[in-house]
Chains A and B, each alone.
Chain A
């Protein structure tokens, strides 16, 4: 693939800015926390979306909120852009560095400051991994509900930036439902709190507005999270069908029956084939689709719902149903699902993961359209998805040694997102827009919508230095009054921006 962005040569102005910035950052964080060596810098050239790469101008690894504030202040004063990065597992290039900017890596800020079981709250630093929060809460019968599949390594700070979900967000919600307070460094270097941890905003709900803003409104330095009681019982069902249509029928019937499972996942024949090749998950042979339904809650209710789901699946045409009530059996069922993305390497040299969302009731139609688009493009598409909330992860398989095939895969990917939008859906359910999908934003939102969203950006970051170039295809000039323009914008005049 040729998506790699050539590293922009740093301008003389950047060199001058860095010459004063490097000693300043060294003063703030110490010598071992500032990386300037070109080889070491290359380690940070991309996040989990490796098709976009850019070597940062400078990397700094602060250990305290005060250091982050001082770093951001220094950058703001020097007019140098900065990008925050947690564990770098993002899938939309949200933490893609700027060649002329500073990458602020928060991996050294990984203290769990407090667990308050009586209030069901924990206070953590941004570099703490998602799973570490749950581990700290478990002794109190609590857990941290959002569970992105990268939860062993992804950071809570990154989860806040991306409003991360996970397989279980169908019932338990996303990061934004589980964050009640944030300490942030504003893009001009001020350390401040958004919210007070109570979950009741006094004034604008800036916690809600900040969560999911993909690192463009500031850098989070402490997070107050809500903890959830561990359900009394969990059971996982795996149902095998001949077709995804049958699986889809079962999904609709489960929801229509008033059952809200913790997770409903579906895999089609091609993704099952890849998962078998990679991890030998031993799903029922001959399955054209498998449905994984996880139920949690009070034991009696889980038992009743599990019986209901079995019956619904049978009626929809399931030819085999397995049930796992203990953690080992459950892990066996999930093994194939969890391995699905990486398993594509077994059956294709390269693949693009999409993250479109459609209303649950449109799942069948959209899968049929994807199948038709796939046939027309002559490219295989494997479907792995969160069926309960209509979040599709079509994996477009292609040979990246062929320019033509790479281009066709990109085009097919875009066409799939168009299908999602035309069915009233979204271009991203959990991966974020980042740099990867900003070009699709105008297909989903009007220019007035995008312009209005960017008012929030202008309130937080009028200088546009905080994670620039993400989410929005065309940055709004803050302070610009639409329709009233007196001469060219200063940034345009200075050759630093274009308007079109």
Chain B
């Protein structure tokens, strides 16, 4: 709820503390205070003060993905990372950069490109480094470069009680100690506040080419993608866009390398070649900031049947969603804001039953797909479990219990109500 004054310990911990406004609400839940520490030490002092005052805390970058997940059970204090906006070190010769969590991914890309380098992440909804890490988002480049956790080599976090902890370091090859970066990547602000991160960088390619085609049916799209992936064309990214059931499926890949190499590799292939991405590239369902967006992860070989199944289940629910994604095992499905909530819930449960059904950790057979509601309007959230069945939830709860025994960090927002 809205606060009427700033508690002394919090004011002492950080220069930038203010009373929250209705615009600071998280999924409809109103915080009282907003603090914006500018250093890891200040962030530590803020969390220590919050812990002493018994305040619940939610970290926030620019808020592009703040609506994801369950609404918090409670939030007293938003810890904003936007003042943590320094690039601490760009060691170009080592292809490594250390940045504070509030740095914008786009700003970092601009800086790195001056040295001919990049952080190989292209999420549809970027925001800050801290937000990208906490949500684990990645775009079409995931085919070659993976997700944020694959490029993260060191991390600094502040625990619920203000303890500052580091793991990893600033060398790419390092197996000393547990890799807490893996645990924090995708942890949605439930284990601690990420204040700094060190990434492995890659050289910018000399040239990039795209190749795209339209397919009439899921099986055609799956066959074409398979041809591209298993050829010497060696794509680094793949993307698919299928806006509605009556329309063709648009499929594309990106290829990187020397100009001469690209000419040789993509000469004889099917599809149309272009020097820039097609307009729909990375701009489909995953980029939507309103309505319901589902994230489907599956074993990539099943692409054709997954696409068919999405249309079939959606048809039974009376919906015609937009489908897009990185094609190689990850798709997003978007339904407009105004769609009937019970139909959307039917789509979610139907997809879970058909793609990720009949499997759990205890049966000895791993489920090979997941259907997660990334964002949804409140009426939809009320009807479905956003995360669905999760293997080893018991262990996840134990991890949460160890890192945040008082449940003061983003309480209730994550899987199983963590």
Contact = CB atoms under 8 A, between A and B. Distances in A.
B171 A426 contact: yes
B81 interface: no
Given A192-B395, A195-B391, A301-B257, A424 B178 contact: no
Contact of B169 (A192, A196, A389, A424): A424
B329 A361 contact: no
Nearest to B260: A300
Interface string B94-113: 11100000000000000000
B407 to A, nearest CB: 15
B372 interface: yes
A445 B180 CA distance: 13
Interface string B199-243: 000111110000000000000000000100110111000000000
B175 A208 contact: no
Contact of A460 (B167, B206, B367, B398): B398
Interface of B: 91-96, 116, 136, 146-147, 149-150, 157, 159, 163-167, 169-180, 182-183, 185-187, 191, 202-206, 226, 229-230, 232-234, 257-258, 260-261, 264-265, 295, 297-302, 329-330, 356, 361-362, 364, 366-370, 372, 387-388, 390-396, 398-399, 401-403, 414-416, 418
Contacts of A192: 361-362, 391-392, 394-395
A205 B185 contact: yes
Contact of B179 (A176, A183, A448): A176
A123 to B, nearest CB: 9
B94 A450 contact: no
Nearest to B203: A258
A196 B95 contact: no
Contacts of A165: 173, 175
B169 A208 contact: no
Contacts of A206: 183, 392, 395-396, 399
23 contacts: A65-B364, A121-B299, A163-B179, A190-B394, A192-B394, A193-B361, A193-B366, A198-B298, A199-B329, A200-B147, A202-B297, A204-B187, A206-B392, A209-B183, A260-B203, A301-B261, A359-B96, A426-B171, A427-B176, A448-B164, A450-B177, A453-B177, A459-B398
A173 B145 CA distance: 10
Interface stretch (A39-47, A112-120, A128-136, A408-416): A112-120
A297 B235 CA distance: 11
B171 A452 contact: no
Contacts of B257: 297-298, 300-301
A448 B163 contact: yes
Contacts of A121: 299
Interface stretch (A101-109, A236-244, A428-436): A428-436
A425 interface: yes
Contact of A429 (B174, B183, B229, B368): B174
B258 A459 contact: no
Interface string A269-298: 000000000000000000000000000011
Contact of A389 (B173, B177, B418): B173
A321 B289 CA distance: 56
A: interface residue count bin: 35 or more
A430 B329 contact: no
Nearest to B181: A208
Interface in A390-443: 390-391, 424-433, 437, 441
A441 B166 CA distance: 13
A256 B95 CA distance: 9
A24 interface: no
Nearest to B371: A202
Interface in A230-257: 232, 252, 255-256
Interface string A429-473: 111110001000100111011111101111110000000000100
B166 A449 contact: yes
Nearest to B163: A448
A17 interface: no
Given A169-B173, A186-B395, A453-B167, A202 B388 contact: yes
